[in-house]
Structure 1
Amino acid sequence: MKPIAKHLSAACHPRVLATGLLATAMAAQAETTVQIYGIVDTGIQVQNKTAGSNDGRVSMNTSNLRQSVWGLRGSEDLGNGLKAFFNLESHIAVDTGGLFGDGQGESPLFRRQANVGLSGSWGSITLGRQYGPALLAHVATEPRAFKEQFSSLYTWAYNQLESINGGGANNTNDDVGIFMKNAIQYRGSYGPVTGGILYALGEQAGDTSANSILALGLTYTGPVTLSFSHEYMKDANTGEKVVEHTGLGAAVSLGDWAFKGNFHRSDNSAEDGSRVSKVDVLGLGVDWKWNPNNMVTVAYYDARDKENRSNHTKNLVIGNETYLSKRTTLYATLAVVDADTGATGTQALRTSIVNDASFRAGSTTSFFNFGIHHNF
């Protein structure tokens, strides 16, 4: 007993305990990573007309190439190929310093991501607020890779924003069809196919289906890139499908050139299930990397609401990005929007590739923006 008591006594010496705790803390730190990251993007936009007026406007626009964000992410190696991870990501407006609202009257600090999960060779499971798999499936096939301005990101988003459909429908888990609340998502890769499936819990008493979201996105990466997505959202009160959205895309790279095509259809319904809008958006584009530090993109978008034939826009976009470094880009973009007479008011949002739909209906509006994009 004496030798054991002697060893215990030595082990409990304050200096030995401090050394042991320090070693344990250092080992834990070595297995855990936490990173702060972000994007800061803003520029000047000039347009020759505005909605309902022939008057032009000059404005400062945040997030022209990519969203301006800051966030925290981290992971811990749990051994045997298993990792725990978390994501906290905030959406900011560089022009004002404020937070972006979610379209339902709230401006959450971590609007884009607030989640935790586990990953391994089998894929990953994520719980919490997160990106939906449908949009992620088409990033490589959308003509402008869903840039924050002048792409089909806005026709995608506005056609899945419940508060604008005019029918009183509501799904509180939906944030413009891009970010999902109360969600569980599995993501994995099987050979050349990568994808995810997500379910957002409705949390409604007496009806587990009401207010829920189901979303699927798949991408095949080979000589040709192919993408597919489908998602639907149910009303919180009636359980009717109030949004149903499907997308298809393809892309192929040939040297310094990349050709892309993407199509998505959005069906919006009132809370009783009656159709409010049916919007088809076709996008075609080409990237040309004309030297190591510059890339030109030319894209064309046709967006029309089949429930309101006069709500139709035809859009031509030409942009150049100059890469000053891996972290800093200068950009300049020209967009021309030819809008029919029905593309006005909230209806205009459904067929708009412009973030605020500030083009004039029944006319042609030109936009030019230039700015700086920096990531850290």
Structure 2
Amino acid sequence: MIQHASVSKGRQENPRILRNAIAIAVASLALPALAETNVAIYGIIDAGLLYQSKTGTDGKSKSSMETSGLRQTIIGFKGDRDLGQGLEGFFNLEAHFDTNNGQFHGTGDAQGNGTPFFRRQANLGLRGDWGSVTFGRQYGPALLAHIGTEPRAFKEQFSNLYAWAYNQYAATNGAPGTERNTNNDVGIFFSNAIQYRNTLGPYSFGVLYSPGGQAGSLDKNSVWAVGGTYTGPVVLSASYQVIKDQATANDNVRHGGLGFAVPFGDFTFKANYLNARNSLSTGSNVSNVNAIGVGTDWKWHPKNTATLAYYDNKDRMNKDDHTRNIVISNDYSLRNDTILYAQMAYVDAGDAATIKTSIVAAGIPSVGHKSTLLNVGLNFTF
């Protein structure tokens, strides 16, 4: 019961009574179970400046503040609790926003679903020596498998993170009655998902399934995805995922990947191949994009890592939807949690280039032209 201090007209409350009342209120609201749970707040703040030599159809240059050049800007909450007998419970809540204006980053969810507060993660699960099972909105295992083999580790600017995302966006983001899947957000985040993950020696893998929630069908609106990584003298990665239409259960997206990374002294050589096939809900093929990336990381100083990467992305169904890209970058660690980065991309875009072959967050800088982009920024992790 919460006690209240009485107040007579013209007379102030006794401060001691007020303090006691607050103490009793706090004690009555306390949840003893929270003392047994480890809870942490974490995040990334990332912002910088972006210069583009050409933009749009007029070919003019542009300078702007850019959010999330190295990694996405996020704030998250995570926790775990020992349940005894080798079992642990955990949860993750993670929101994505833009540093330049403070707004939510937006979403790749199907039209009409709104913008999720916790776009990236909203899940809980159990783990033990047998692995883990996670329930809710979460990262898919396919993209996670390739982080060590993608030439720029799927950095938020100038990497094949965008060939990945944009090829799994249009075929599932429609309004009801068009191409649509309400469990998919750009092939990276999945709602209503169940995922099993485990690590067995040098092998780590995940298997995810999102039930469609459609009456009379186990296939409509569903997603399944698998991804695995071998980490030994070399790193190998493989993945595959299928995203089905809400109304017809057609495979609107079929996406697969293979990759490897080879360390050699201060250098790490990487190669990654991605293929994305999009179709209409009727089954008609729309695009078939090959995204190839090769690159080298060079740890040339204890605080500096330079990267040289080349990306060649092409839609086999539209030869002019093709981009060739060269990226040069350097990450300078002021300390382990603070990085000053500089990265430059040279983009040669075909006459019909689209976001499906882009490595740039905002899409193709200038269709049918060659462009140079320079991004300098600061990444702060806490």
TM-score of the superposed pair, with normalisation by structure 1: 0.90
Q: Distance in 2 between matches of 1:94 and 1:165?
A: 25
Residue among 351, 358, 380 paired with 1:374: 380
Which residue in the other structure is 2:51 paired with?
46
Give the Å deviation of 1:31: 3.5
Give the Å deviation of 1:168: 3.3
Give the Å deviation of 1:255: 1.6
Give the Å deviation of 1:358: 4.0
* Counterpart code for 1:157: A
Contact 1:50–1:359 (CA under 8 A) maintained in structure 2? yes
Equivalent residues, number: 351
1:219-251 alpha-carbon deviations (Å, 9 max, x no partner): 001001000000001000001110000000000
Q: Distance in 2 between matches of 1:42 and 1:76?
A: 34
Q: Distance in 2 between matches of 1:92 and 1:109?
A: 10
Q: After the TM superposition, which residues 156-235 of structure 1 pair with which residues of structure 2 at under 5 Å, given as runs?
A: 156-162=164-170, 168-235=178-245
Q: Distance in 2 between matches of 1:164 and 1:116?
A: 26
Contact 1:210–1:235 (CA under 8 A) maintained in structure 2? yes
Q: Which runs of 5+ in 1 are unaligned?
A: 1-17
* Counterpart code for 1:91: H
Contact 1:162–1:171 (CA under 8 A) maintained in structure 2? no
Contact 1:165–1:269 (CA under 8 A) maintained in structure 2? no
Which residue in the other structure is 2:352 paired with?
342
1:69-103 alpha-carbon deviations (Å, 9 max, x no partner): 00100000011210000000000100110002112
1:187-221 alpha-carbon deviations (Å, 9 max, x no partner): 00122110100001100111121000000000001
SS at match of 2:152: coil
Contact 1:333–1:369 (CA under 8 A) maintained in structure 2? yes
Which residue in the other structure is 1:127 paired with?
135
Q: Distance in 1 between matches of 2:79 and 2:378?
A: 28
Which residue in the other structure is 1:77 paired with?
82
Q: After the TM superposition, which residues 271-350 of structure 1 pair with which residues of structure 2 at under 5 Å, given as runs?
A: 271-343=281-353, 348-350=354-356
1:248 equivalenced with 2:258 (yes/no): yes
* Counterpart code for 1:131: Y
Which residue in the other structure is 1:4 paired with?
none
1:278-322 alpha-carbon deviations (Å, 9 max, x no partner): 000000010001100011001000000011111000000000010
* Counterpart code for 1:119: R
Contact 2:315–2:322 (CA under 8 A) maintained in structure 1? yes
Contact 2:229–2:235 (CA under 8 A) maintained in structure 1? yes
Give the Å deviation of 1:162: 3.1
Identity %: 51
Contact 1:165–1:270 (CA under 8 A) maintained in structure 2? no
* Counterpart code for 1:173: N
Q: Distance in 2 between matches of 1:314 and 1:114?
A: 37
* Counterpart code for 1:126: T
1:35-65 alpha-carbon deviations (Å, 9 max, x no partner): 0000000100001100212100001111110
User: 1:303–1:164: structure 2 CA closer, same or farther, 3 Å change rule?
Assistant: farther
Q: Distance in 1 between matches of 2:261 and 2:326?
A: 19
Q: After the TM superposition, which residues 25-44 of structure 1 pair with which residues of structure 2 at under 5 Å, given as runs?
A: 28=33, 31-44=36-49
SS at match of 1:135: helix
Q: Distance in 2 between matches of 1:133 and 1:231?
A: 9
TM-score of the superposed pair, with normalisation by structure 2: 0.89
Which residue in the other structure is 1:67 paired with?
72
Q: After the TM superposition, which residues 347-358 of structure 1 pair with which residues of structure 2 at under 5 Å, given as runs?
A: 348-358=354-364
Q: Distance in 1 between matches of 2:313 and 2:143?
A: 18
User: 1:102–1:163: structure 2 CA closer, same or farther, 3 Å change rule?
Assistant: farther
Residue among 117, 124, 146 paired with 1:109: 117
User: 1:189–1:65: structure 2 CA closer, same or farther, 3 Å change rule?
Assistant: same
Q: Distance in 2 between matches of 1:296 and 1:193?
A: 28
1:362 equivalenced with 2:368 (yes/no): yes
Contact 1:165–1:268 (CA under 8 A) maintained in structure 2? no
Q: Distance in 2 between matches of 1:260 and 1:306?
A: 24
Q: Distance in 2 between matches of 1:192 and 1:158?
A: 31
Q: Distance in 1 between matches of 2:209 and 2:243?
A: 10
Q: Which runs of 5+ in 2 are unaligned?
A: 1-23
